[in-house]
Each structure stands twice: as structure tokens, then as C-alpha cells.
Amino acid sequence: MTLASCGVRPTPVLTGAEAPMVSSHELTVYLLTASRNELVRRTRSYSGTVDTATSINLLVAGLTEEEKKLGLVTEVPATSSRVFAVSNLIVLPEDMGPLSKWAQYQLYCTAIVSRAKVEGVPASGIECP
């Protein structure tokens, strides 16, 4: 039996860089029914780093096209300014102005659920749907 070789020498296993990772999250925001008398829990997908204020920033960015088609509304004033979380405090931008009762409920429930998800703080005793 005859063996032939092409002269290519074996090399060790070459490793590449780590694969890129995209962090995708399901976040909850609270909107209102068209009659503006009931909160509705909505889940939105978000890719990237998440902190306690991320859900609230999604809420103040306004409704998605799907939410508009469903007839949902919001009383939270839309703004392009960012919301920040500092310890147990949510800092809203000045350009949001005074908030209606329903806007406060929307922000409160969104903040409570966001904190529970991000920080693992239980949301027991909270009256949000």
C-alpha cells in the first residue's frame, strides 16, 4: 500500500473571539383602555442593557403601532428626555409637566413591575393588573 501526502503540516486548533451576545428582555408597561378607565398590562421586547428605568423610558416614548391599532391610549406625556432611577426614586424630566391620576398610575405600576424584574424585589401588596 502506498501513502502520499501534500505537505500540509497539522496545526493546533485555532480559536476565534467570543460570539457576540445580544441581550433581549421582555419588559412590562401599563397603558389605558380607550375609555381611559382601566389599566392594561403590555409586554414589549427590548434588546440591550436593562435597568429599573428602562420600562419607564419605553412608556414615555409613546405607543407602538400595534398598541395604537388595539385602541390603547396613554396619559403619560411623550418625551424624548430620559427618565432616571436613583435608588428608590424615579426622576422624571421637567418637560412632562403635571401628571393626571391615570398617568401617575401608569408610571407607578410600570416602575413597580420593572423594579421587581430587574432588581428581584417582590411586588407583593401592589394593586396593578
d(CA 94, CA 45): 27
The parent domain of residue 32 ranges over: 24-119
pTM: 0.77
Q: Tell me whether residue 78 is in a domain.
A: yes
* Counted domains in the chain: 1
Q: Tell me whether residue 19 is in a domain.
A: no
Band (14; pLDDT cuts 50, 70, 90): low
pLDDT digits (tens, 9 = 90+) for 72-81: 999 999 888 8
Strands (E), 11-91: 24-32, 39-47, 84-86, 89-91
Q: Tell me whether residue 9 is in a domain.
A: no
Q: Tell me whether residue 3 is in a domain.
A: no
**How many CA atoms does the CB half-sphere of 31 hold within 13 Å?**
23
Amino acid letter for position 49 = T
The residue count of the chain comes to: 129
Q: Tell me whether residue 60 is in a domain.
A: yes
Q: Tell me whether residue 69 is in a domain.
A: yes
Q: Which one, of 127, 114, 121, lies nearest residue 28 by Cα?
A: 114
Over residues 102-122, mean pLDDT? 89
Q: Tell me whether residue 37 is in a domain.
A: yes
